[in-house]
Amino acid sequence: MGLLQKAVETYDAMAHRAGIVYAGEKEPLAPIGHIMARAQIEITLDQDGRFVSARAMGKDAPKIIIPATEESAGRTSAPCAHPLCDQLGYVSPHDEKKYALYMNALSHWANSEYTHPKLQPILAYVRGGTILSDLSHAELIALTPEGGPEDEKLMICWVVNGLGEALNGPCWEDRALMDAFVNYSAAKRRNTSPSLCMITGLMDAPANQHPKGIIPINGNAKLISANDSSGFTYRGRFDDAAQAATVGYAASQKAHSALRWLVANQSAPFGGRTFLCWSPQGVQIPKVTGPMGRKSGTAQRTANPSQYQKQLREALSGWKEDLPQSAGVVIAAFDAATTGRLAVTYYNELPASDFLDRLYVWENTCKWENFSYGIQSPTLFQIVSWAFGTPRNGKAELDDRILGQQMQRLMSCRVDKAPFPLDVERALVEKASYLLLYEGENRQKLLFTACAAIRKYHYDTSKEEWDMALDKNCSDRSYLFGRLLAVADAVEGSAYTGEDRRETNALRMQKAFALRPMAAWRLLEEKLEPYYKQLNPGLRQYYRKLTQEIVDKLSASDGSLNQKLDDIYLLGYYHQRAYRTERADKPETEE
């Protein structure tokens, strides 16, 4: 119940926002007993319930808040009416059964002590039965030969004017109307025997049904459901659903409303799985699947590790600046194997300060120089897509199921401080050993991501910390061979000019070079001779001298020179390539 308890805590902290649409939010927080719905037609009435106008609401119009009973909020195929805004099939008298249900729900509320001035005009208009002809004359609907609507599922919402400046306007923006329904539904539950709510620990009228549609991409899937009295939901352990769990109506409404609001405004969906990270106290925090960044949202290019470190520390301090000591963070992931059941695939609670510290550690250890963008930490999505994606048209395409699963693995590593997965690191190394399959910026992204993952993996497993600058004193065999590969690539690349440019032999032989480096290097040396002759004397002498220095270090290294290279060769390749790019225009100075 930890997730639902934190959701109730969030609702209580944000209760002052319920029913109010704030700028920048995709959806508002719905009050108790209300749901979010997308309306298609807006009807305006006067104070006496006379039709004034109607208009179609665009497909991009935001969802509105409408009152709903416990039964109507979870309705499926069985008819059950909402008490105010509902589909045309309920509001029009064409379907007598649905119409009777709607009129009964609306009239009971309108004639109760918790009524509102807008209810009687709406009730009078619907009772008049002219809605189909009014909408048909307004050319908003088409009628069948029998006189019914062609589309009965069009959602109708109401605007009532003529009641005074304080009461005029849309029903879905009227807080007093929302409060009236909250009090009305609470009064109807007063005669219900209370039970122990397992979320709040208080005695409350139990919820018989729980809201659906928390995650839009998962349709009507529910977090709590126990309507399968004939199957195996609880049979064999309990006699009825109440023995398994009892949740109070108010707690259920608060928890589901808060989760729906958080998912709409703060979630990150990847491959059908939804990742959610929030502070129940309402503190602003970074997304768990994205970069830590700055609280202001601005980012700066970092040219060296010290600048990156400084910027990262400033970002951490910025997030912590206004952080209350009691602030916490909840991280959850949701997925649905079926259309009816929503699963929590990951859940964790942390103090907000610890959460920020763990994001800082991840971005400080999983980092590399991203060419002209400076030093960065690749996003989790970038790591997963390049590790498990299939190269097509120069990009990596990825199956949704794999994306969701692997994103959760990396998110868990980031939050729980677990070691970087070996299979992910090896997958990136394997992909980066076929740079020839990628083009332009995608090749750079893959190489940057692979180097960052290699650095992170070695730090997590052996506390070995690789610098992002060329290490001329490094005697690691794989690192040295990686440098040689970059030199071969540079020699041939320097000989190409203009439209004559093409892929180098070094890139074409990269995978063979990683498997049998010494044998591949001998072949490369033979192929490089014609290109050496095309270089100017200074540049030719510089590359020959650099090659000889690396070969001399290799001769002194231990082990067979022709054994398969490990992942470090990519770091050597990147370092030498970046160094040669910086010094390409001044070889004589280096010499």
Taking the CA atoms of 231, 235, 236 and 239 in sequence, report the sign of the dihedral they define. Answer: negative
Gap between the Cα atoms of 455 and 370, Å rounded? 14
pLDDT of residue 117: 96
Gap between the Cα atoms of 3 and 252, Å rounded? 12
Gap between the Cα atoms of 175 and 104, Å rounded? 23
Q: Rounded to the nearest 5 degrees, what angle is found at the Cα of 414, between the Cα atoms of 566 and 11?
A: 165
Gap between the Cα atoms of 523 and 545, Å rounded? 19
CA 406 to chain CA centroid, Å, is 13
Gap between the Cα atoms of 401 and 373, Å rounded? 31
pLDDT of residue 294: 65
Gap between the Cα atoms of 464 and 261, Å rounded? 43
* 3-class DSSP assignment, residue 509: coil
pLDDT of residue 38: 93
pLDDT of residue 182: 96
Gap between the Cα atoms of 27 and 49, Å rounded? 30
**Residue type present at position 272:** G
Q: Are 105 and 83 in contact (CB under 8 A)?
A: yes
CB atoms within 10 A of CB 301: 13
DSSP states along 227-259 = --TTTTSSTTT-SSHHHH---BHHHHHHHHHHH
Q: Are 65 and 57 in contact (CB under 8 A)?
A: no
Mean pLDDT per 10-residue section of the chain, whose length is 591 residues: 91 94 91 95 96 93 94 87 96 94 96 96 96 95 91 95 93 96 94 90 90 84 72 65 83 95 94 93 90 65 80 91 89 88 93 95 93 89 92 74 94 95 96 89 92 96 90 92 94 77 89 94 92 89 92 74 92 88 47 39
Q: Are 447 and 570 in contact (CB under 8 A)?
A: yes
Gap between the Cα atoms of 10 and 327, Å rounded? 12
Q: Rounded to the nearest 5 degrees, what angle is found at the Cα of 229, between the Cα atoms of 226 and 235?
A: 90
Residue 572 CB partners (closer than 8 Å, separation 6+): 474, 476, 478, 479, 480, 481, 482, 483, 485, 486
pLDDT of residue 591: 39
Of 18, 42, 15, 14, the C-alpha closest to 29 is: 18
Gap between the Cα atoms of 356 and 329, Å rounded? 10
Question: Any alpha helices (H) in 211-328, and if so which ranges?
Answer: 241-244, 249-266, 305-320
**Residue type present at position 304:** N
> Which two tokens mark 556?
């002194």
DSSP states along 517-579 = HHHHHHHHHHHHHHHHHHS-HHHHHHHHHHHHHHHHHHHTSSS-TTSPP-THHHHHHHHHHHH
Strands 390-392 and 328-335, sheet pairing: unpaired
pLDDT of residue 357: 95
